[in-house]
Structure formats: structure tokens, C-alpha cells
Structure 1
Amino acid sequence: MKKEKNNSANYKIDMKLMIKQLFELRKGPTPWGKAFCAGLCAGLPVLLGILMDNFELGLLGGVGGFTYLYVFNETYASRIKKIFLVALTISFLVGLGTIVAPYPWLVILIIGLIGFAGTFIFGVFKVPGPAAIFFILSFAITTSMPINPTQAPLRFIVVLSSGLFAWALSMAGWFKNPHRAEIKAVEDIYLSLGAFCEAIGSKDMNNKRQLALEALRRGEETLSSGVKLKRNKMQFDRLVLLNQYANDLFLELIEVSFYRSGKVPQEIIHRIGELNKFISCKNGKEDKIDIKRLFEEPASEYSRLMDGIYAIEGLINMPLEDIEAEVAKSVRPSRRMRLVKAMDRDSIVSLSIIMCMIP
């Protein structure tokens, strides 16, 4: 009797847990905005097909909606080329699948080539996205449709139209915030620097340092692929300078982690952790950082680190009109110029070589 009661109680607990998990909303890796737009790109062509009394063609148009699944947090300059090429490729493969559908062995060969080429290109160029899977799916869908090679041009145009709609939707945010990806990349850099600073002196320090280094690398790639627009030139320049200052701050944190065995003071951790919240300010007049100096003693062991933080805070507070002058001051010499200066007889490099040659 007791065993039956226990089983009944366990059954009720399992049912409650199952119902709770069924209606639980979990934070997934895909943002809601992207999920909605992907559904719109796939569903709108189907709806148009129903309204035009051609459901089959509407379903085929939904294949072009796969294009939006290749949208990630890249710059709009990269996205405008990438998504257009994806839309064109998916449309071409739909047309090709329609033409070669009568030849099964050729279909198998082409599917293998699509998988190889797509995976290779996405891997070599480190392009984020689902690689070749939706290219293969687009090609395979048309090979299973009624065989009619004469329909290839029509199917190509239908899929390309829905793909271009996905391309236009992916570029819609450019009008509101053309440097959204660059801002996000710089925010991630400062967020990772804050986590690294907090981890100094702990077992997780090496992992956080590697994550900060990866964020710096991604930020450099993102900013280098961005385009400096005339109407947002100074905002873009601020992001470039913030990335440059972040590299300097990272080097200071590396030095602190090597020469200090204990934790960094909480005031500094909090100061760095707050920096990423101000990156997206569109001008220097709102949401300014209150630059309150810490460790006023000149001989403080963290003085260089704090100087780097003050410089970043000053740059964030700086009006956009003054950014151009700051860029001119912060221009670093090219590698060629550094080599030329190193060959000068008065340079420290030349003097070091001469000193080594003296017996």
C-alpha cells in the first residue's frame, strides 16, 4: 500500500515537472527578432501563393526564406554582399535541381559537390552560418518535385524574389543604426576585459584572458570589415579608438596579472565592468561617465591601469566634434615607418646592435 502511494506521489511530481518544462520559456542562442524575421521570410511567400491561388509556387518561394538564416552579427558592409550571394546561390541551385532532376546519378554527384564546396568556403573564410545545409536542402527539394525542366527559369525567379526580400529585410536596420555590429563587437570587448580583470588572482584567470583575447580579435575583424560612412564618420572613429584603447588596457591587465598575485581592488573591477554600458552613446552629451579619480597617490601600483581607464572614459565623454582631432593624435606609425625609424643611427635598435658588436 505504501509503495503504491509513493509511486502515485512520484507520478504527480513527474507530471508537474513535465508541465512546467512544457511551458517554460528558455533563453536560446537565437534572438527573438531574428526568429520573427526568418518566419516572415519563409511565411510571406506561402501566404502570397495562397492569395494568388498557387500554393505550390508559394511553398517554393518559402525556400528563398532560407536566406535569412545566414544573417549573423556581421557588419552591414559584409552582410550586403554575403546575403545577396546566398540568395543568388539558393536560387541557382533550385533552378539547377529542376534541370537535373531526371538524372539521379547526376543529382547525387551535385549534392556531394555542394556539400564539399559550401563547407570548404564557410570554413576557410570563417563565415558564420549553417554552411552548406540549406544549399543542399534547396537543391534536394526541387529534385523531388514533379519533373519539368522547362520550369527552371520560373522557379529561379520565384526563389530569387523571396531571397531578395530576405536580403532587404536583413539590411533594414542600416537606416537606424549602420554601425550596430561594430558597437556590439566593442561592447563585447569591454565586457570580456571586465571579466578578465575580475578573474585576476583566481583559477579562472587564464580562461578569461583567452576569452578577452578572442573578443579583441573578433573586434579587430569586425571593425576592419566595416565601412566609414560620411554621416556616421565620427561615431565610427570613436569605435576604432575605443578598440585601440582596449588593446592598451588589455596589455596593462596582463602586466597586473603577472606581477600581482592577489585580486584587483573592487573599485577598479567595477570601473572596467561599467565601461561597456556607455559604448553605444551616440553623442558625448548624454549618459556621460562621472570620472571620479581613484588612488590619488602618484606611486600607486595601479596608476598606469587607472590612467588607461581614465583615457577610455574621457574618450567616451568626448563630443563627436572633437573625435577627429583625437584620431589625428592617436594615429600609430605603420610597420614600414617603424622599420625606417629603426634603421636610423640614433634609434635604440641601432644602438643596441652596435653595442652587441663591440667586443
Structure 2
Amino acid sequence: MGAPILAGLLLGSLPTGLMATLGAFTALYGSGRPYLNRAGHLALIAVSFALSVSIGIWASGRAITVVGCLTLLAMAATFLCSARQVEPPGAYMFVVACAAGTALPAAQLTPFSAGVVVLAGGVFAWLVHMAGALFSLRGPEKSAVAAAANAVAAYLEVLDTERERPAHRRAAAALQRSWQVLVQQQPLKSRADSTLRRLRGLNRRLHLLAAAAAQYSGRAGGVPPEYIRTVRHIAGQAAHPPPPAVPHGSWPILEPPGFFPSLWQSLKPGSPPVKVALRVGAAALIAGAIASSLALDRAYWAVAAAVLMLHTGMDWLRTLQRSLERFAGTLGGIGLTAVIFWWHPQGFWLLAVVMLLQFTIEMLVVRNYALAAVFITATALTIGSGGQPVPDPSRLLQARVEDTALGCAVALLVFRLLTPRDAPTRIPAALAGTVKAVDAAALAMGSGRLDSAQALRMHGRLQQSTLRLAQAYDAAVGGSAAQRDAAEKLWPATAAAEQLAFRVLAAWTIMLHGGSAAGEGRPAVELDADGAARLHQVLSGLAAAAETGRPAAPLGKLPAFLRPEVHAVHEALQTSPERSPARGEGEVSGS
């Protein structure tokens, strides 16, 4: 953030330097990604910031055009960031760059030249962000494996306690993240003796250890202590990974979908990226239209506030909390900004103030958003002043409060109007989807061809369905009182289905790689074609019971390693409150 301002000072054009800091926000993205993947990711981010500012300057001066461009930009950025799982701050900063760029006192810049200035700030941020590759090219991969190992160890240490379930979720997420860094964000071809392949070997061993340990859940004696010691040892080995115990050729890797196929998948009607983008577009358009009709100063602030509340797709309670935190932080930020405007720092003092404000934001934003919002407000207004005296600071600060309040209020209203009221009915659908995914995975396991592309897709489908089940439950818990009550009643079935999915994923890993591959003991996991067929009949009935709310049929003969989990799902569905069919409920709510 400081370097573009310094360049502007040295070149005698402070407003231009402040505009370049919009490109410097590129540095907020890409952390944790492998450097080769990060290079392309950040380059696209930097170009997007430049394009956003150019569009904003082109649209400036015409309220209808400004609101229209901000709305379309907000929708496009929200959809793309959601579909491609772009890390926070996601789409919000592109809307801020587009809006804030129009207010900077740099009238001599054309849209193209302003884009070049912003891109220059982005290029510098790219260089700083990539500098670590000179010292530890595989640093992100090593950190991901170490983090996964520590998460798995933490899970094993609380096995069979009340803390097991959240620890299991964190371990599963860390393992998935590490595999994403090691495979999905890498070129598929790498040298046989590369550090990457050694790290993949450690990561697969972690998967096997976590899978084998999960088989001990609920057993007398718990997980063997040597499992935990081995996992902790792997965390230390990540810095200097040893050669893998199993030849790489025996490790099946499913090629991730390309950029355009994944976008096409996200474009399906009703997909989360489409829902969130439509919600953001409606809020941006309404907030901008109201602010313009009321002739509020800096009406684009209302649009930015509305986008901020909705672009991440949070549930109602968290959206409400974020709105209150943002408004409270804005009030506090107004006081801090008033002090800065009174002081009116110039030259290197201004540079130091902006750097200190941004540093404080980064230190606080995860832990205390309300406090971070104080400094976010002060940073935005300081940069927006262009280093020039503000003619009427009290009016500017008042406008910031008004627009923020309007944007937050519109966002909450749109959320209530455009969010389906059938969140509790999505839990049965997610339950059924998870059980069906378990069924498909079990059939693949019974076939004995776990390394085929189709079988690997079934494995990925089971992982995704388990995640969707957790998201459906969390959304209901964060919804209305009725939704929270329904979610509480469905919690036993949700927990049982999640545990069943985790057990099947663990069994899959053991059957595919074998405990001996990692030098560990191998718990008994046996599933042939006949067993998978019998299990299919049972799971089909459980999926239908979850979806319709009708009682499940009595259980037949089950594979021994899955018997406790299947019985738990069956019992939970039998004792769940009566529900009308999910499809009918959804149609009524949707109407």
C-alpha cells in the first residue's frame, strides 16, 4: 500500500499514487496458493482491479450509468468469485475499487490511463506476493501438509469426546485443502524426484492414518497412541519430506475440471453462485437507486455496503451480525477519520498513516470485524480524499454514515425477501443426497475398481454431499426461529448421516491404499459385490425416508464395518419429527 503512494510523492502526483493503491489490494488475495498457481491467479486479480476502476471512471457523472455498472459488476464478480472459490475479501473489493476510483481527484486521467495506473499498483503487489518463491518455492505446499497433519493430530487426540465432531470437520477440511494445494492447484506432471511428489506421499499417508484411526471411534481403548505420534512426526517432516513409501504410479489422481466446465456447472439454475449473485444484484440496484433518488453524496457507498453484506452468502444471523458490526465500525471510523482530516497529514506522514491503517485492518479483520471496520472506514476516506483538503468534512462523514446505513438496511431486506423460507426442508434433501452418495460410493467399493475415473468421481461426490449437508444444517441454524427449531430436531439424523459418510470415506482410503502402504495397521474393511448390493437396498430405503419423512423399512444384513453407522441413521430417521414430503414443502415455500 505504501509503495504506490511513495511513487506518487516522488513523481509529484499524490492523487495518482493513491489511485494506484487500488491495484495494491491485489496483495489481499492468493495467500496459501502454490506460487505457480498464485502467479496466474494474482495476475487475473490485478487486471480485474484495473478494469473495475476503468469502468467506474467511464461511468462517472451519470447516476443511472454508475448504478447500472456497479450492479452488473457486483453480480459478475460475486458469481465468478463464488464459482471459482476465490478467497476473501472476494468480490467486494472489486466493487469498492470501481466505486472509489470515480471519486479520487485525478480528473486528468482517462479510463484507460487510470486502468494503467491501477495495474501498476497491482504489478507491484504481484511482485511482493511472489517474492517468497525465491526463498522457498514449495513453501505453501509444505505449510498445507503441516497444517493438515496438525489438524489430524488434534482430531485423534479428542476421539470419542464431545469435541470429536468439530475436530473431525476441521481435520477433513485441512486434508481437503492440502490435497487441493498439492493436486488441483498444480500441473499434473512433475518430476519423479520432486519435492511435490514427496509431499503428496506424506499427504496420502495422513489420509490413511486419519481413515484408519476413524475405525477406532467408539471402540474400547481408543486410537493407538502411536498413530498420534506418527501424525505429529509427519507435521515435522513436511519441511523436508522423505521419499514416498509407495511409487507414484500406484496413486490414482482425478484431473480436476477445467475453468469453463466448472463455470458452466455453477451456472445451473438454483446453484449457490447464481443465488448469491442475484441477491447481490438486487441489493446493489435497489440501494443505488434509493441513494440516487435521495441525492445522497457518494451514493456508491450504499451499493458497496449492500454488496459487502451479501457477497459471501452467509446465513441470516451472520448477515445481521455483520451489518450491525459494519454500521458500528463505520460510526467509530467516522471519529478516527475526523481526526485524520483535522491533522491533514501530507507527504511521508500520509504514506505512514495509510500503511498503519491497512496493517491494523489485516491484524483485526478476522478476530474482530467491528473493530476492523473502524480502520476500514478511515482508510477508504483517507485514500478517497486524494491527499487534498476536504471542503466540508462534516458533510462527507455524515454521508458515509447515511449511505452505510442505507446499504446495510437494503441488504437485510433483500436477504429476507429473496432467501427461500424452506431452509429446514433443505436438510432432508441434503440428508437424502448424502445417503445416496454413500450408496454410490459403496457400489464402487464393492466393484473393486476404486482407481477408475468414475469411482474417483463418486468419492468426490460423497465429499461434496457431506459438505452440502453441513452447509444446509448451518444455514437453518442461522435462520429464523422456526428454521432453528427444525434444525435442532433434525440434528440426530444429520450427525448420523455425516458420521456414516466419514466412515465410508475412511474405508475407501483404506481399501484403495491399504494400511501396509504407509506402514500402519489395517483395520478390517471388507465389502464385496454382494455386500454392496445388500447395502444398496438398505441405503435406498434410508434415502427415501430422509426425503419424504416416512418411516424407513427394517434393516437387513449389513457389512460389519458399517453396521453401527447405518443403524444410527436408521434410528435417527425413525425418531425424527414427522414431515410432509420435501418437494411439496419446497413448492409451497417457493410460491
Task: Describe the shift of the 1:197–1:101 C-alpha distance in structure 2 as closer, same or farther (beyond 3 A).
Answer: same
Q: Is the 8 A contact 2:148 2:171 kept in 1?
A: yes
Aligned pair in 2 of structure 1 residues 263, 350: CA closer, same or farther (>3 Å)? closer
C-alpha displacement of 1:238: 0.5
Question: Which residue pairs with 1:58 in the alignment?
Answer: 17
Q: Counterpart of 1:331?
A: 251
Where do residues 211-230 of structure 1 align in structure 2 (5 Å cutoff)? 211-224=170-183, 225-227=185-187
8 Å Cα contact 1:96-1:152 kept in structure 2 = yes
- For 1:51 and 1:264, locate their aligned partners in 2 and report how far apart those are by CA, in whole Å: 63
Is contact 2:190-2:197 (8 Å) kept?
no
Aligned: 1:250 with 2:206: no
Shift of 1:273: 2.6
Counterpart amino acid of residue 100 in structure 1: A
8 A contact 1:198–1:263 mirrored in 2: no
CA offset at residue 220 of structure 1?
Answer: 1.6
Q: Which residue identity is paired with 1:327? A: P
In 2, distance between residues paired with 1:83 and 1:67? Answer: 7
Residues 286-342 of structure 1 deviation map (CA, whole Å, 9 limit, x = unaligned):
xxxxxxxxxxxxxxxxxxxxxxxxxxxxxx3x5xxxx5x942564357306989xxx
Distance 2:46 2:246 in 1: 41
Q: Deviations over 1:222-265 (max 9, x none)?
A: 1111247868952111111111111211111011114x234445
Is the alpha carbon distance of 1:207 and 1:114 closer, same or farther for their aligned partners in structure 2, counting shifts above 3 Å?
same
Q: Work out whether 1:190 is the aligned partner of 2:149.
A: yes
Determine the structure 2 residue equivalent to 1:156: 115
Query: What's the TM-score, normalizing by structure 1?
Result: 0.66
Structure 1 Cα separation of the partners of residues 2 and 529 of structure 2: 68
CA pair 150-242 structure 1, distance change in 2 beyond 3 A: closer
Where 1:126 maps in the other structure, the secondary structure is coil
1:236 aligns with 2:190: no
Find the counterpart in structure 2 of residue 285 from structure 1: none
Whole-angstrom distance in 1 between the partners of 2:101 and 2:530: 71
Counterpart residue type for residue 121 of structure 2: S
Distance 1:162 1:147, change over 3 A: closer
Correspondence list, 1:125-204, <5 A: 125-145=84-104, 148=107, 151-204=110-163
- Paired with 1:118 and 1:228, the residues of 2 have a C-alpha distance of 28
> 1:280–1:80: structure 2 CA closer, same or farther, 3 Å change rule?
same
The code of the aligned residue for 1:81 comes to G
Counterparts of 2:163 and 2:215, CA distance in 1: 17
> Cα distance, 1:142 vs. partner?
2.5
Give the alignment of 1:240-319 within 5 angstroms: 240-258=200-218, 260-264=219-223, 266=225, 268-281=227-240, 316=242, 318=243
Structure 2 residue aligned with 1:71: 30
Mapped partners of 2:164, 2:125: distance in 1: 42
Show the counterpart of 2:300. Answer: none
Q: CA deviation at 1:96?
A: 1.7
1:328–1:49 CA distance, 2 compared to 1 (3 A): closer
User: 1:84 and 2:201 equivalent?
Assistant: no
Alpha-carbon distance change, 243 to 196 in structure 1, aligned in 2, over 3 angstroms: same
Q: Distance in 1 between matches of 2:7 and 2:140?
A: 33
> 1:120 offset after TM fit, Å?
1.8
- Whether the 8 Å CA contact 1:200–1:262 is kept in 2: the answer is no
Contact 2:209 2:227 (8 Å CA) reproduced: no
Letter in 2 for 1:78: N
SS at match of 1:281: coil
For residues 121-140 of structure 1, what are the alpha-carbon distances to aligned partners after superposition, in whole Å with 9 as ceiling and x for unaligned? 21222121201222111111
One-letter amino acid of the counterpart of residue 216, structure 2: V
- Deviation of the 1:103 alpha carbon: 1.4
Q: For residues 118 and 201 of structure 1, do their structure 2 counterparts lie closer, same or farther at Cα, with a shift above 3 Å needed? A: same
Q: Secondary structure at the match of 1:95?
A: helix
- Shift in Å at residue 268 of structure 1? 4.5
Amino acid at match of 1:334: D
Q: Equivalent residue for 1:45?
A: 4
| 8 Å Cα contact 1:189/1:212 also seen in 2 | yes
Bigger Cα displacement from structure 2, 45-54 vs 138-147: 138-147
**Counterparts of 1:135 and 1:63, CA distance in 2:** 9
**CA-atom RMSD, angstroms?**
3.0
Q: Which residue identity does 1:130 align to in structure 2? A: P
Contact 1:84 1:167 in 2 (8 A): yes
Distance 1:269 1:52, change over 3 A: same
* Distance in 1 separating the partners of 2:240 and 2:188: 18
CA-to-partner distance for each residue in 1:134-192, whole Å, 9 max, x for gaps? Answer: 21111112222458586222211111111111112111112222222211111122111
Aligned to 1:118: 77
Range 329-338 or range 164-173, more displaced: 329-338
Looking at structure 2, the residues matched to 210 and 65 of structure 1 have their Cα atoms a distance apart, in angstroms, of: 35
**TM-score where L is the length of structure 2:** 0.41
Q: Which runs of 5+ in 2 are unaligned?
A: 253-449, 457-526, 533-591
What is the alpha-carbon distance in structure 2 between the residues aligned to residue 54 and residue 110 of structure 1? 28
CA gap of 1:147–1:183, structure 2 versus 1, over 3 A, is: closer
CA shift, 1:280, in A, is 0.9
The number of equivalent residue pairs is: 266
Q: Provide the C-alpha distance between the structure 2 equivalents of 1:279 and 1:158, rounded to a whole number of angstroms.
A: 41
Shift of 1:205: 1.7
Change (3 A) 1:107 1:175: same
The answer as to whether partners of 2:26 and 2:46 remain within 8 angstroms in 1 is: yes
